[in-house]
Amino acid sequence: MTTTNAGERIAFIGLGTMGQPMARRLAEAGHALSLFDIDAAVVQRLAQEFGATAATSPVEAAKGASIVITMLPSSKEVDATILGVAGAPGVPGAPGVLSVLAPGSFVIDMSSSDPMRTRALAETVAKAGSTLVDAPVSGAVRRARDGTLSIMIGGAEASLERLRTVLSAMGTQIFHVGADGAGHAMKALNNYVSAAALVATVEALHVGEKFGIDPAVMTKVFNASTGKNNTTENKVAQFMLSGKYDSGFLLALMAKDVGIAIGLAETLGIDAPMGHVCADLWREAAAGSPRTTDHTEMYHLLRD
Ligand code: NAD
């Protein structure tokens, strides 16, 4: 199995907040990219910037590629992209990437997808002679720009070694966490912990403020004490107290991730009472907010 694969032909599908900087890192590392997103204007702009090919469908992007990377909102879009979309009765649907992938190719799903759906998709991709690796990321847009994301791999270790050069253009901390779907399970569980800490932090800030303690002072104390967490360190001052609410990670995506984690607990028959409360809070907040709402807006949503 070869491990020298600089200069791969990569189809990159999903060019949103995270996909754009990740694709840029791959272009800068010398890979030949073919780009697709449902936002055609973004595809045209980035193709010009990166010297990449602009595709008008996932299938067009994937033709001739040895690796297809998806960075889409959820399993729903990933399944549709890879497997295709069924048409209405009597109307042909859109074909999926799998219909044009050469045997021996790789699909790397870097989205935060549902691990149970990923397992099923990996099986279908394997039957078609290719390999799906789940490789979700953590670190938000700043680390996507720097190429310092942490990447959680589900699938065979040999697949990780085959893809390491490509993945290293986007992340510096690459973990093999288990078999198919394990990366996505890990990601959902990571975001559950992150989301629960955010809610606890925000609730504590509101209580403290009502008691007369400045939330900025509280944040400094947390960061010097045992309440320190990613929200106190990287979100409260930067995106909440500043009123900017522009971390680049949507509330709807966090709600999806916590829902996946709690769904997994249910599937596995594990009681997670706090997880259910947390998932309800995020789901209700997302349901009552525009899709563009940043997840740090939980600061005022929980108060109001
Ligand atoms: P985003 O909403 O900014 O981008 C999603 C992109 O996918 C958009 O450009 C959209 O046009 C495109 N898209 C949607 N449906 C499509 C389809 N059927 N075909 C082609 N393109 C389609 O989301 P994001 O913040 O970039 O997140 C992408 C994934 O990464 C999500 O699963 C998210 O949970 C995860 N994630 C996000 C962050 C973050 O900080 N934003 C961090 C880690 C992981």
Residue-wise pLDDT for 88-108, tens only, equals: 888 889 999 999 999 999 999
State the pLDDT at residue 163: 98
Homologous superfamily of 186-303 in CATH? N-(1-d-carboxylethyl)-l-norvaline Dehydrogenase; domain 2 (1.10.1040.10)
- Show Cβ contacts of residue 207 under 8 Å, excluding neighbours closer than 6 positions: none
State the pLDDT at residue 1: 37
State the pLDDT at residue 237: 98
* Token representation of residue 300: 């005022």
State the pLDDT at residue 6: 58
Homologous superfamily of 9-179 in CATH? NAD(P)-binding Rossmann-like Domain (3.40.50.720)
The reply to whether the predicted model has a pTM over 0.75 is yes
State the pLDDT at residue 2: 38
* Location of each CATH 1.10.1040.10 domain in the chain: 186-303
State the pLDDT at residue 299: 98
Least confident span in 42-51, 81-90, 205-214: 81-90
State the pLDDT at residue 7: 82
State the pLDDT at residue 214: 98
* Location of each CATH 3.40.50.720 domain in the chain: 9-179
**Atom 12 of ligand 1: nearest residue by CA position:** 14
Looking at every residue in the chain, the average pLDDT score rounds to: 96
- As for ligand 1, residues whose beta carbon falls within 6 Å of it are 13-19, 37-39, 71-74, 77, 80-81, 111-112, 137-138, 140-141, 248-249, 253, 257
149 forms beta bridges with 171
Residue whose pair of structure tokens reads 């990569």 in the numeric block:
10
Q: Tens of pLDDT along 283-303? A: 999 999 999 999 999 999 999
Q: Of 187, 210, 235, 244, which residue is the catalytic one?
A: 187
